[in-house]
Amino acid sequence: MKIAIVGFPGCGKSTCFKAITSLDPAKAHLGAVKIPDPRLEKLKNFFNPKKITHAEIIFRDLPGFRISDIKEIEALLEVLGMFSGRDPVKDKEDMDLEFMLADLEIINKRLPSLEKELQQEKTREKSLEKEALLKCRRLLEGQNPLRAAELAPLEKKAIRGFQFLSEKPLFILGNIEEKDTKTDAVRKLEIYSKEKNFKSIEFCAKLEAEITDLEDFEKDAFLKEMGLKETARDRVISLAYGALGYVTFFTTRGSETKAWPVKKGTTAVEAAGKIHSDMQKGFIKAEVINLSDLESCGSLQEARKKALLKLEGKDYKIQDGDIIDFRFNV
C-alpha cells in the first residue's frame, strides 16, 4: 500500500511526513509504517511463531508539487494548511484541478495515435480504450475527477496502465495550528468534506512531529496531557485503511505469522499472488478459517473437528480476519 503525501508549498507537508513516519524529511522521503493489529498477538498464542510481521503502509513525501513524481502511487494524502489566512477549500480545488489537467493532457496526447492504430487494425481492445478515454475526457472537460467515471469493467481494464491522478483515491489532512481546533478554516473544510464525501482529519503536524522525538515512556504522558487519545500516525492509518477499502488476511507458515492487506473483493487466487506469483500460477485451493471461528473453538484441532476449516477455490472473496494456507503446485 503506497500513499503519496502531496500539498502546495507552505502547507506543512514534510512536517506531516515526520509526524506519520518519525523520519527526518531532510534525510528521507520514503517511510514504511507498521499497521497496528492486536489480532497478530492472538495468532501468536495459537501458533507460537518465532516472527510476527505486520502489514505496512509506505508513505512518500514528494518534494515540491511535481505531478510527474506521483505515478505508481495507490492513493493521495492531500495536506491543506489551515493557518496564515490560507483557504483550504481553494487549495483543495486548485490541487484537484492540477491533477485533472495532467490527466487531460495524457488523454489528448494518446487519442490521435490511437485513431491511427485503429485505422490500421481495429481491435476490440483498442476500441474499448478509445471509448473509455472519450468518456474520461468529457468528465475532465467538465472539471470532474475521473474517480467519478462510470466505466464498464473492460473499459477500466483498457485504461488501467495510464495511472490517472484524478482517479486515485484520496483523503484530506488539515494541518492546523496548535490548539486551533475550531477555526473558520477548520469548519469550512469539515463542511466541504461532508458535502463532497471526502474522508478527512485535522491535527497540528508541528506538535505531532515533536511527539515522535519523545521516548516511548514519555509519549503516553504527553498525549494524555494534550488531551489526545492516539498519535497522528494511528489516526492516518485508520483513515487510510477505511478510505481505501482494505481488509487483512493472515498467513502462518513455518516460523512466521504475517498480516497481508488487500482490497475488499480480492479473490483467493489474487491474494495468493500478493505473496508470490508462483502461488497464483499454481493455485489449487485455499484452506481458510476466520480468526473469530478459531477463537470460538479454542484450537485449530477443535476447529477441524467442527469443519470450520474450509477449502475454497479461486473465486473465494477474502474476508477480514481470514487465516489462509494456500495450496499450490508449480
pTM of the model: 0.84
Say yes or no to pLDDT of 161 above 80: yes
Mean pLDDT of 19-29: 91
Longest CA span, the chain: 70
pLDDT of residue 135: 95
More reliable by pLDDT, 204 or 179:
204
3-class DSSP assignment, residue 325:
strand
Mean pLDDT of 237-263: 90
Q: What angle do helix axes 205-212 and 13-21 make, rounded to 10 degrees?
A: 30
Say yes or no to pLDDT of 164 above 70: yes
Task: State pLDDT tens for residues 262-285.
Answer: 999 999 999 999 999 999 999 999
Chain-wide mean pLDDT for the chain? Answer: 90
Range of weakest confidence among 12-16, 24-28, 48-52, 137-141: 24-28
**Kind of pairing, strands 200-203 and 246-253?**
unpaired
Q: Same CATH fold, 265-328 and 92-167?
A: no
Residue reference for cell 502547507? 11
Domain regions of the chain by residue span: 2-87+168-243, 92-167, 265-328
Say yes or no to pLDDT of 293 above 90: yes
Residue reference for cell 492509518? 237
Asked if residue 309 lies in contact with residue 288, where contact means CB atoms within 8 angstroms, the answer is yes
Reading the block at residue 266, the C-alpha cell is 480480492
pLDDT of residue 83: 85
pLDDT of residue 92: 93
Taken as a whole, the chain contains a residue count of 330
pLDDT of residue 74: 87
CA distances from 209 to 14, 53, 228 (A): 10, 26, 14
Say yes or no to pLDDT of 99 above 80: yes
CA distances from 223 to 23, 108, 231, 232 (A): 20, 51, 8, 11
- At 52, which amino acid appears? I
More reliable by pLDDT, 128 or 69:
128
* Sequence-ordered alpha helix ranges (H) in 147-305: 153-158, 184-196, 205-212, 216-226, 232-244, 268-275, 277-281, 291-297, 300-305
Range of weakest confidence among 13-17, 28-32, 93-97, 215-219: 215-219
Mean pLDDT of 113-136: 94
The rounded distance, in Å, linking the Cα atoms of 189 and 175 is 11
Say yes or no to pLDDT of 326 above 70: yes
pLDDT band at 65 (very low <50, low <70, confident <90, very high): low
Percent of all residues in the chain with a pLDDT value above 70, rounded to a whole number: 96
Per-residue b or e along 1-39, where b marks 16 or more CB atoms closer than 10 Å to that residue's CB: bebbbbbbeebbbbbbbbbbbebebeeebebebebebeb
Q: Which residues contact 268 (CB under 8 A, 6 or more apart)?
A: 283, 286, 288, 312, 313, 314, 315, 316, 317, 318, 324, 326
pLDDT band at 196 (very low <50, low <70, confident <90, very high): confident
More reliable by pLDDT, 68 or 257:
257
Domain 2-87+168-243 carries which CATH code?
Answer: 3.40.50.300
Domain 265-328 carries which CATH code?
Answer: 3.10.20.30
Percent of all residues in the chain with a pLDDT value above 90, rounded to a whole number: 64
pLDDT band at 145 (very low <50, low <70, confident <90, very high): very high
pLDDT of residue 188: 87
pLDDT of residue 66: 67
Strand stretches in the chain, DSSP E? 2-6, 30-34, 51-53, 56-61, 75-81, 170-175, 200-203, 246-253, 256-263, 283-290, 310-312, 322-328
Residue reference for cell 489474487? 270
Architecture of domain 92-167: Orthogonal Bundle (1.10)
